[in-house]
């Protein structure tokens, strides 16, 4: 099912780019936004640029965040790149609308839905997700705020490149709509998860979560009433996007761990935005 979500999400994201965002110069931030600028200025293939621009960011992410997050990131990036260029150069779809508002809305809906399904599959689309996590690691800013800063810089640069303030405004609309669509796909209005982990390797699992995900962990000692054995019980709150990462990380450190992940309606504290 995870692979299905990643493939479906990659298809939707690629269609959002090629059918609406790329031809109308609407830049929803991120590496995709930079690739849109390069396509419209130099006519360089969007998909190819999307893949190539992700390479240095991916290598930087491996150095800063470790190797374990990388396989699914590579898969989704390649899928989006291949599907985008296949759609553009082989299917050759017509421009569906010349209306900037419609393009920004429908492109953002497809892109956001695509990203949401990729995240539900435990994958990542690289780009600002990785940069945001690295900024979070070194500055303490939340991942969400870090991604917003990077996306804003990309959108601003596109405005100067295309010399159009209108495109900047429509790009921010696309960024907002796609972000909200991601939230809708990822468990509706619940924007965070609480993980309760029962493990015989409490210190190892906790250290892995702190080091690899930069998330806090609370440890208590528990006793299984069925087995009578004492085990560590770990509590951690993560974002929806990190659920797949946490599952894989815990399974890697302790395959015998028992984990319960539940939706959280609101989180007040460092690393999470308040409910609006």
pLDDT tens across 83-120, in order?
A: 999 999 999 999 999 999 999 999 999 999 998 888 77
All domains of the chain in start order, with CATH? 2-185 (no CATH), 192-264 (3.30.70.120)
**What is the dihedral angle through the alpha carbons of 185, 188, 192, 196, rounded to the nearest 10 degrees?**
-100
- pLDDT above 70 (res 214): yes
Please state, for a pLDDT cut of 70, what percent of the chain lies above it. Answer: 88
In the β-sheet with 192-199, what is the strand arrangement from edge to edge? 218-223, 230-239, 192-199, 258-264
- Nearest-angstrom CA–CA distance, 78 and 55: 11
Residue 72: predicted pLDDT = 65
Query: In this predicted model, which residue has the larger pLDDT, 59 or 153?
Result: 153
Residue 196 CB neighbour total at 10 angstroms: 14
pTM for this model (two decimals): 0.71
Cβ pair 31, 129 in contact under 8 A: no
Q: Which two tokens stand for residue 102?
A: 């419609």
Find, among 240, 270, 265, the residue nearest to 122 by Cα: 240
Distance CA 2, CA 241 (A): 13
- Mean residue pLDDT across the chain: 86
Instruction: Provide the 8-state DSSP code for 1.
Output: -
Examine the pLDDT at 174 and tell me if it is beyond 90. Answer: yes
pLDDT in tens, 224-271: 888 888 899 999 998 877 888 898 899 999 999 999 998 877 776 766
Contacts of 108 (CB under 8 A, 6+ apart): 16, 21, 28, 173, 174, 175, 176, 177, 178, 181
């Amino acid at each position: 099912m995870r692979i299905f979500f990643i493939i479906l999400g990659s298809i939707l994201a690629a269609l959002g780019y090629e059918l609406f965002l790329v031809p109308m110069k609407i830049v929803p931030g991120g590496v995709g936004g930079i690739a849109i600028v390069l396509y419209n200025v130099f006519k360089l293939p969007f998909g190819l640029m999307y893949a190539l621009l992700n390479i240095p960011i991916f290598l930087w992410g491996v150095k800063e965040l470790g190797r374990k997050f990388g396989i699914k990131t590579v898969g989704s990036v390649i899928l989006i790149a291949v599907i985008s260029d296949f759609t553009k150069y082989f299917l050759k779809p017509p421009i569906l609308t010349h209306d900037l508002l419609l393009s920004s809305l429908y492109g953002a809906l497809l892109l956001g839905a695509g990203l949401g399904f990729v995240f539900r599959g435990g994958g990542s689309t690289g780009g600002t997700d990785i940069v945001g996590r690295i900024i979070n690691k070194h500055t303490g800013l939340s991942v969400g705020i870090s991604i917003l800063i990077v996306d804003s810089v990309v959108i601003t640069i596109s405005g100067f490149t295309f010399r159009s303030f209108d495109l900047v405004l429509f790009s921010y609309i696309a960024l907002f709509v796609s972000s909200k669509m991601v939230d809708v796909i990822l468990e509706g209005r619940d924007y965070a998860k609480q993980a309760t982990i029962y493990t015989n390797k409490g210190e190892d699992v906790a250290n892995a979560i702190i080091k690899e995900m930069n998330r806090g962990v609370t440890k208590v000692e528990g006793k299984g009433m069925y087995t009578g054995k004492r085990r560590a019980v770990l509590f951690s709150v993560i974002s929806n996007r990190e659920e797949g990462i946490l599952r894989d990380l815990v399974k890697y450190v302790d395959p015998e761990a028992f984990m319960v992940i539940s939706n959280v309606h609101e989180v007040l504290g460092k690393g999470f935005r308040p409910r609006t």
